[in-house]
């Protein structure tokens, strides 16, 4: 339903109840001596408590994955994190902070190493601090060993003082910038926001979404506006729903990256009869549903809460979708409707992404709880885009020149991974955090392609993004992006020194993309000429980056903080001073992030 933007009332956020008052921090045993093996620059944003390293072979004592916030385990972890912050306040490290009022729990996750991670939003005087979170990290024994995030004092009155503008006023100002209709109910939330000037402002966060009536090269929009709550100044704006980015430069046809990633082959289930034909991945076996009329539909109940692929009927916004059916459950046959062909790839891509998350990263879908994956194919007419809309996937058919159907494995994995980022670190799609957001989707999308290539010989793994669908007629093998050499596309950068010249999130993603490539494969950065000798392999690299994303990164993480997060993740997995942790540091140094 299209809602006129000037008449729609905003949805106001309900305040989060404060935590229980913090109790003094007590320890039942003498702490182990803290490790000093890691270089000091890797630990600057992590407040370390004393720690004994967890052995990888030890069995976790609690279930892994997200914990219900009201569960006894989660409540205990939350309280210990609050107590830890409060003790630091008492010792003058974060003066004036009442942790019970300053932190609101978002999620609690228990991992396979036996650690528990408590993610909390910062609040000040009852108001959310936009983009700022604190994460408490508890060891196997349930003691807080470190904190990620900023808990410094904020100016008094920013949350409690009356403001000149209301939520509706801020919405009206944002709508003038948006200049269009919204597809979802707008939201306008009172927040505290740190502007580019470094100062904190009383503000409103307004979100407006538009995904209807998109032309072939239009971009879907989930626009975010931060409006000063007193002056009405637009402090910043960004689009959280980007889709693919068309190459801006000519770009070179990419030869395969030198070498193949060192990786152990994951344990994969044996396949049955591969009689379904894809556009891009050869013969595969799809899990489907048999209907009462004897036909089959693209509904898979064997993975989590389901993997479903439907036909959006060329609408630019998925609304009244149609199930996609087949008479004999042999999909993609020459006699099948042409509309089914892209759907086969989308369904396969979602299934491989689910399996990749579970088998390689140990996560049950996007939310860690089996979240249903829905893919809408045939979005728009000749639409050259694919995007995650915050709830489900949307694939255009392409125009046959710039692209074919945008349902390749790496594009599917890339876009669905935006959902993974939303459910974990929530990286803001702007500035350095936006470049990281895009890079993590490229990394996970490439990971899906690598994973599928281990079980499907028709899938060719490489370090290019979207090459199978991009410019299908020219035969040059060009792509949207190149992780082994980001500057090949004539747009992206591969080194942090060039970030001021290229801050658009797809272009700046090349920094972290190349760091990941060098970590996994080894090689030389084109700009710095710095070489990383040997890599740690694809599986280890993916697990390090995923752990950093899920447990050590917050919405406004910078490139430097991402370096720290990945080093910390590698240290958790392989030990302080390990070859893996050293290679993580080397790969970031090669791209100018120190």
Which of 392, 382, 486, 393 lies closest to 439, judged by CA? 486
Q: In 139-199, which ranges are E strands?
A: 144-148, 187-194
DSSP 92: T
How far is the C-alpha of 525 from the C-alpha of 514, rounded, in Å?
7
Which residues make beta-bridge pairs with 192? 129, 202
Which of 112, 90, 85 lies closest to 19, judged by CA? 85
Cα distance from N-terminal residue to C-terminal residue, the chain: 48
Please, what sign has the CA dihedral across residues 228, 231, 232, 235?
negative
Q: In 13-143, which ranges are E strands?
A: 46-48, 65-67, 103-110, 116-124, 127-138
State the DSSP H helix or E strand holding residue 67, giving kind and residue range, or none if neither.
Answer: strand 65-67
DSSP string, 238-272: EES--------S--PPPPPPSS----PPPP-PPP-
Strands 325-326 vs 296-297: parallel, antiparallel or unpaired: antiparallel
Whether the CB-CB separation of 121 and 129 falls below 8 Å is answered with yes
DSSP 3: B
CA 80 from centre of chain: 27
DSSP 207: E
Residues 6+ apart with CB under 8 A from 156: 125
How far is the C-alpha of 94 from the C-alpha of 99, rounded, in Å?
10
Whether the CB-CB separation of 471 and 403 falls below 8 Å is answered with yes
Of 87, 207, 245, 415, catalytic: 415
How far is the C-alpha of 480 from the C-alpha of 445, rounded, in Å?
13
Catalytic-residue membership of 415: yes
CA 314 from centre of chain: 28
Q: How far is CA 289 from CA 71, 340, 353, 354, in A?
A: 35, 15, 19, 18
Helix, strand, coil shares of the chain, percent, nearest 5, are 30, 20, 50
Catalytic-residue membership of 248: no
Residues 6+ apart with CB under 8 A from 172: 6
Of 418, 495, 506, 551, catalytic: 506
- Active-site residue list: 415, 506
């Amino acid at each position: 339903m299209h809602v006129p933007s000037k008449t729609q009332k905003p949805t106001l956020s309900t305040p989060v109840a404060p935590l229980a008052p913090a109790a003094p921090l007590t320890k039942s045993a003498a702490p182990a001596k803290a490790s000093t093996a890691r270089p000091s620059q890797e630990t600057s944003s992590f407040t370390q408590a004393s720690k004994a390293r967890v052995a990888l072979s030890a069995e976790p004592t609690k279930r892994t994955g997200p914990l219900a916030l009201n569960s006894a385990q989660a409540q205990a972890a939350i309280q210990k994190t609050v107590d830890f912050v409060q003790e630091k306040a008492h010792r003058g490290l974060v003066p004036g902070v009442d942790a019970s009022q300053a932190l609101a729990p978002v999620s609690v996750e228990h991992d396979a190493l036996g650690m528990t991670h408590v993610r909390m939003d910062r609040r000040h005087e009852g108001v959310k601090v936009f983009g700022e979170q604190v994460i408490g990290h508890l060891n196997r024994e349930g003691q807080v060993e470190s904190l990620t995030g900023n808990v410094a004092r904020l100016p008094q009155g920013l949350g409690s003082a009356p403001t000149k503008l209301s939520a509706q006023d801020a919405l009206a100002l944002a709508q003038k910038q948006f200049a269009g209709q919204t597809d979802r109910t707008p939201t306008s939330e009172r927040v505290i926001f740190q502007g580019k000037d470094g100062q904190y402002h009383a503000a409103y966060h307004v979100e407006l979404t538009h995904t209807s009536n998109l032309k072939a090269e239009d971009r879907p929009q989930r626009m975010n506006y931060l409006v000063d709550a007193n002056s009405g100044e637009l402090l910043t704006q960004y689009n959280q729903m980007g889709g693919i980015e068309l190459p801006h430069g000519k770009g070179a046809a990419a030869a395969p990256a030198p070498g193949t990633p060192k990786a152990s082959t994951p344990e994969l289930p044996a396949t049955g009869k591969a009689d379904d034909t894809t556009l891009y991945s050869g013969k595969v076996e799809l899990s489907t549903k048999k209907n009462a009329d004897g036909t089959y539909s693209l509904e898979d109940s064997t993975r989590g809460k389901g993997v479903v692929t439907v036909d959006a009927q060329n609408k630019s916004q998925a609304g009244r979708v149609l199930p996609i059916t087949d008479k004999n459950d042999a999909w993609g046959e020459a006699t099948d409707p042409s509309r089914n062909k892209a759907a086969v790839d989308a369904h396969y891509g979602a299934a491989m992404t689910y399996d990749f998350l579970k088998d390689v990263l140990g996560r049950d879908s996007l939310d860690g709880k089996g979240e249903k994956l829905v893919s809408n194919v045939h979005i728009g007419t000749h639409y050259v885009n694919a995007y995650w809309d915050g709830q489900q996937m949307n694939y255009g058919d392409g125009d046959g020149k710039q692209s074919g159907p945008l349902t390749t494995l790496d594009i599917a994995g890339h876009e669905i991974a935006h959902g993974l980022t939303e459910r974990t670190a929530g990286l803001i799609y702007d500035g350095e955090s936006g470049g990281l957001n895009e890079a993590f989707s490229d990394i996970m999308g490439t990971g899906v392609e690598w994973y599928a290539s281990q079980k499907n010989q028709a899938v060719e793994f490489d370090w290019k993004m979207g090459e199978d669908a991009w410019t299908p007629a020219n035969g040059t093998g060009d792509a949207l992006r190149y992780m082994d050499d980001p500057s090949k596309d004539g747009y992206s950068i591969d080194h942090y020194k060039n970030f001021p010249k290229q801050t658009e999130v797809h272009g700046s993603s090349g920094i972290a993309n190349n760091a990941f490539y060098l970590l996994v494969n080894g090689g030389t950065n084109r700009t710095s000429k710095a070489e990383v000798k040997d890599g740690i392999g694809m599986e280890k690299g993916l697990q390090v980056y995923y752990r950093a994303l899920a447990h050590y990164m917050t919405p406004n993480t910078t490139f430097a903080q991402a370096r720290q997060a990945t080093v910390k993740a590698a240290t958790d997995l392989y030990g302080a001073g390990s070859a893996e942790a050293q290679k993580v540091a080397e790969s970031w140094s090669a791209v100018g992030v120190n």
